[in-house]
Each structure stands twice: as structure tokens, then as C-alpha cells.
Chains A and B, each alone.
Chain A
Amino acid sequence: MDCQESGECMEPFITFDISKGALTWRLLKNKFLTIITLGIYRFWGKTHVRRMFWHSIKVGGERLQYHGTGMELFLGFLIAIAILTGVFFVFGLVFGLLSVMNQTFAVVTQLANFLMLYAFWQFAYFRLWRYRLSRTSLRTIRFYLTGKGMTYMGRALMWSAITLLTLGWAYPKLVQVRADYLMNNVCYGDQSFSYKGNAGELMKMYWPAILVLQLAYGVMFYQFFAMGIYDPEVISGNQEAVDELVQDKGLLITTSSIFMTAFVVGTLLFLWARVKTFVYITNNTTLSGARFFSNLSVGKVFLILFVTVLVSALIIGAYFGLIALVVSGAASEEFIGIAMIGFFIFVFLFMDILMFLFVLVPLFRAAATSISTDNPAVFEEVAVSSRTSPKYGEGLADALDVGAF
């Protein structure tokens, strides 16, 4: 095509510069206050973190502003509680009693429960972005999201079902449908973003992941049904059942190693496709004729995610180290007890803070600063829009805790 392919005529226009010290201090403070207020403080804590985050992002030299308040989030939460308890309760009562009377209903109840949560999650995800965008301004002009949460939920549910029925092959279409509805509804002042992508292009990114993961799950189902590896008897350590399974050792080792390899490779391919999707969506989005371009590299993302793997490995290692001490009797029981408690308190208190600082922040930075445009001035000539913004916080989204920040 033209210079967009190479990004030559594109100028970077987003910077992200956050003080790690201030952020760490804020996260620690939030954790402490959340614990002593029995969880109530988290709405205000989240708001503080968001303000810091938003202010750290400069678009064309101007900072993003966050206008949300802790009280809004708290109200949204209360509303969600009032609605959710009602809905879940009536639902629980009806299905609970049905499944008590008839065992087959228990399965239906589980499925319906899962479906309801999944549907809520989709709805909440849309509402969450509506709230966040409407509370974000750049150069005093607000962003917002048009469209309806129910429509988004309906489309996402339909294509999720088709994805399930086609054993994953419709997944690129699901990604496309969700991105299409979200991105085309994002507005900035009186201008709206436009996204033109197609599922075919996304399929080119996802087919290897789908194929390899299908192999992994295929082997898993084979082990499950033909070999009985996940038989409750085997899991609970019944010697006869284990012996029977181990009889064909060769097959067990072969299938298990195929599964492990396919699962790891498939997951990596999937992550690769996710990064490529971000780039694809960015490159196919425009705002009043201005085009965007992302040079986010898969290697960079993998490097950041590798930190997660490393930290998790360290924690699991520490845990097994303690267990080894117990088994070998090298340390006194009291010492082990205290060490174990200390270990869990550490993981419980600081794990999310570490993840936030060393995974989320770098990922966000990598994604945001990878974007460039052929017209940085596009944000400078936008007029205010009279659209109204949602009144209360993220409601269902917050009650279901789908937000990362």
C-alpha cells in the first residue's frame, strides 16, 4: 500500500512516564487501607491508582485526565449488589430446588450458572469501558462509548456459542465481532473512531494456535475417555486403578508428552496471535481520517510475560523448598510453621502489587508507546459533544471484579 505498512510516515504521539516509587507507595497504602476497612476502601484506592495512570499518559504532549471518583465506583457496586443478589437468589432458588428434585438438573444448573456469569461478564466488560472512557478527557474533551451493553453481550454470546460448536474455528470471528462493536462505538468529543477489519485476516493469525490447541484437547479427551486418566479412582490414588493405567506405560508417556508440548506451543501461538491482533486492530482504526500504526513486537511482550513465569517459578520453588525442609526434618516445626505463614502472607499481600508493577505497567507501556499516527494534530481540532455519560460507577463490572486496575 503506502508508508503505513512500514510506519515511515507515522509519528509516535503517546508517551507513558509513571513514577514507580509513587505507584508502589500508593499500592501499598491501598492494600493496607483496604484491609483495615474490610474491603470498602478499594473503590477509592482504585481511583487513586487510575488518576496516577491516566496522568502519566501524554497524548500529543497533553496529559490524559481521569474524572472518576471512588464514590461513583462504590455506588455502582451497591447497585450491582442490589440487582445481583436478587437475580442470583431467584435463579439459585429455582434451579437449586429443581436440581434437588432431579439429579440431571444439577448439570443444567451448573451450565446455566456458568452461562449467566459469562453473559454478565460480557455485559460488564462493555459497561466498564463505557465508564472508563466517559471519565477520561484529553485537552478538556471527553471520550465516551456509544452503543448498548446488551447488544454487545448478545453478539459476544452468539459467537462464543458458535466458537464452542466449531471447536474453536469461529474464534477469530468472535474477536472481530467484539473489536468491531467496541472500537466503532468509541468517540472523542464530536468525532468517532472507526475500525474496519475482517475475520479472514484474524484467521491468518489464529489458525496455528487453534490447530495446536485442538490437538492438545483432543489428546486430553482421549486420555479422559479411552484411558481413564482423570478417573476419580486414579486421582484419589486407588492402587488398582493406577496399576491398570500404568500397565500401558508407553502410551501414557507418549500421550502425556504430546499433550504438554501441544498445550505449551498452542498457548504461545495464542499469545502471539493476541499481540498480532492488537497491532491489526490499531492499524485498521482511524479517527477523522487519521490513521494509526502499532509496531508492538511479540518478543517484547514475551519478555515481559517471562517475568511472570519467573516470579511464579520462584514462588512455587520457595514453597517446595519449605516442604523439602519439613520432609527432611532439617528445621524445627516451629520455624517451618512461621515460615509457611510468612510465605502465604507475603504471597497474599504482595503478589498482586508485584504483578501490577512488573507485568501490567510494562505491558501497558509497551502497547501504548508502540502506537504512532500519520496526523498527530487530529486530537487538536475536536469539539465538545453533548453526549451524557453514565451516572454511576462500573456497577456489575466492579461486583464481578473484571477490571485489571
Chain B
Amino acid sequence: MQVEARYFDGQSSRAQHLLVSFSESGLLGESEEGIVVLNWPFEDLRDESNPPIAREVNLSIDQHSQERLIIEDVFFIQDLRDRAPKLSKRRKGPAGWWKPVVGWTVTGVVALVLLFMYGLPLLATGIAKTLPEKTRTSIGIAVEQSIINTFATRPKNKSENSDPESLESVCHDATGQKALDDLIERFIANSDADLPPVNVTVLKSKIPNAFALPGGRMVIMSALIEMADHPNAIASVLAHEFGHLEERHPMDVFVRNVGLATIFSVAFGDVSGGTILAAVGQYALGAAYSRDFEEAADKRARDLFSALDYDSRPVIELFKKLRTKYPESEYFSIFSSHPHMDERIQALKDDPTGAGRAFTDTEWKAIKFMCKEEG
């Protein structure tokens, strides 16, 4: 069987029309004058069309050669597929192709690690420390407002867009609020930090949590207060958040998160998979950063309690309750932004701070009652 084929010698774009046939060991191509132009062994033949094209093969003979032979005869191709064993295999890359891959992967990873470990913290702390007070406060208020809107249990069937300031989710009770403010005053008296006016907001919510926000703002959720059996447990939480404020952690975290988001979105492109990767990475790294901060805040809380001669152990009970309610998963501990609960409890046991109570009984009752007016 002899069929027509187009042959390119790899040196010019001119096609030579050949008549190809099978020899015993390979493919034979002859010019119209009968001169043998090529004799390609079956073993070395590869089809360069990827994905393969049904009625066409684009044959090559060697990795370094640009010669190509194009055959479009269906029956001949069928026959050829039987004879050439490696037709649909792909050629190996040139030797050492992996070297630049390894080199640049390492460079890329090192650049990112350096950036995350030293670059971004340096930038974030720098910005957090130098940002004007006004800007910090306005960022803090904005974040607080969004937290109020997100977490607070809203009375049902009420207008969705009522003024957030008047929302019943913020607990207003003069006595309880004064007790909290007084405790903060005592913390300030024991602090050397240059602080903005500190503002504590108690929020009605089913989620037991507390945050420190930029611009000297703190939020404590009612569920946490309800869960606490001892005034010092809540005082400990406030001391911890106060520690964050002293170190300007909230602004630092805010800047870092913005930075992380920027880097990840540049690095992984605006594609679906990349976005997921960016979100996961940002979350894990963000948590890793804040774990250092949490340890620092814990230490600061212990120092404050020592200075004021308060007993910090009651918070252990609160931690234990939280742990029962929200067990920590071993596998996802990398995402946990707080130090391991056991470590925190151990640190509190090892390092007793004092014996006193942070709130009087009257104060504690008022605090406990802050969010309960409506039952």
C-alpha cells in the first residue's frame, strides 16, 4: 500500500509530496521520482498531535528534529497504529529539565516565606504604630458595627435596616457598664502604654466570645458573661483583650490581613482554585500570626492581675466550659488562632497571680443582668 503524504524537512516551510509505504522495519518515503527521502523505524515514530486527531497523524522521528510527516489516509493510519508501538507516547523532555523547576520553586517559596515571616509583620507593626489615632478609631468603629450586625441576635420580625446604634443587641445598663469601665480604669492605671480612650461594648449574642478592635475598642458577647460563674473569669477576659489593645494588635492584624489578601491574590491569580487557595492560606497564616499575639496578651493579663492582686484561676472554669462546648479538633489546630487550651490552663495553674476579686458582688450581679432586661 502506498499513500500520499506531506513531508516538511524542518528547515523550510516548503512541503514535499511523498509516497509512503511500509518497509519491514519502518516507514519508507519516496519522492515522485522514486528517490528514497526517508526511512523511519517504527520504534521511533511519534504522533505530535495532542490530543490526537482522528483522521490525521503528524509524525516526528526524533526529539531534536523538526522534520514532520503528515498522513491523512485513514486505513494507512490504522495500519500504522498497529505497527508503531510508541506512536501515541510522548517524548521525554531534554535532560536536566527539572533543574530550573526545582531552582525556581525553591526561590519562590523562600521569597514567600521571608515575606510572610519578616516582611509583612515589619510592615504591619510599622503601620499599626504610626497610624493616626483618628484613623484607628474610625476603623475600629466600622469593624465593631459590622460585628454588631453579624453576630448579634436580632429581635425577629423587626425592620432590617433600623439604625444599628439603637439596636437592642447592644446591652445598655448603667451600673453594669460602670463596673466594667471602672475595671478598665484600674487596668489603665497599671499600664505604661499610650492608649486611646478605651471603650467596652456588651453585645447580646448566643456566641460566647470577646474581641479587641482598633482604636481602643472592646466587644464582649453576652453568652460569655452568662457562661462565667465567677467575676474574675470575665475580668481575665477583659485583661486579655486589654493586653491586645496595649500592644496595638488589632490594627496590626488588620494591616496583616489586608497585606496577606493582597499577596495571595497576586500570587494565585484571579481563578477559582486560586481564590480558594488564597483564602485557606490567608486563614492559616493569619491564625499563625495571631497565636503569637494571643500569647503576648495572656502574659499581659497575668501581669495586670498580679499588679492588682486579683485571682486569675477562676477563668480556668470558663475555659473548661468553652472547651466542652467547642471541642478543638486535632487536625485543624493550625487554624486555631488561640494557643492550645490545655497550655493556657497549665500556664494559669503554674503562675498564680493573687487572691482578690475584680468586681464586688453588686457589680457582678449588675454585669450578669446587663442583657437580661427583656428576658
Contacts and interface: CB of A to CB of B under 8 A. Distances in A.
Contacts, number: 142
Contact of B48 (A35, A65, A379, A380): A65
- Chain B, interface size: which category? 35 or more
B10 A384 contact: yes
A96 B127 contact: yes
A79 interface: yes
Contacts of A349: 272
Interface string B265-277: 0111111111111
B68 interface: yes
B12 A89 contact: no
A81 B66 contact: no
Contacts of B104: 75, 78-79, 82
Contact of A97 (B10, B119, B130): B130
Contacts of A383: 11-13
A381 B272 contact: no
Contacts of A139: 8, 13-15
Given A34-B273, A42-B271, A78 B14 contact: no
A82 B113 CA distance: 11
B263 interface: yes
Contact of A384 (B11, B122, B259): B11
B16 to A, nearest CB: 11
A297 interface: no
Contacts of B273: 34-42
Contacts of A75: 100-101, 104
Interface string A65-95: 1000001001100110110111011001100
Given A75-B101, A89-B119, A381-B13, A140 B66 contact: yes
A332 B66 CA distance: 65
A88 B266 contact: yes
Interface residues of A, number: 55
A405 to B, nearest CB: 13
A96 B122 CA distance: 12
Given A140-B67, A140-B68, A384-B10, A39 B271 contact: yes
A382 B266 contact: no
B13 A401 contact: no
B112 A384 contact: no
Nearest to B66: A140
Contacts of B9: 140
Interface of A is mostly: helix
A399 B269 contact: yes
B133 to A, nearest CB: 12
Nearest to A56: B53
Contacts of B107: 78, 82
Contacts of B37: none
Given A85-B111, A85-B115, 5 more contacts: A86-B111, A97-B123, A139-B8, A139-B14, A399-B267
Interface of A: 22, 31, 34-42, 48, 51-52, 55, 62-63, 65, 71, 74-75, 78-79, 81-82, 84-86, 88-89, 92-93, 96-97, 100-101, 137-141, 189, 348-349, 379-384, 391-392, 398-399, 401
29 contacts: A34-B271, A35-B273, A37-B273, A38-B274, A39-B269, A39-B271, A39-B275, A41-B273, A48-B51, A52-B51, A63-B58, A71-B97, A75-B104, A78-B107, A79-B108, A85-B111, A85-B267, A88-B262, A92-B262, A93-B119, A96-B127, A100-B127, A100-B130, A140-B9, A140-B13, A140-B68, A348-B272, A383-B13, A399-B267
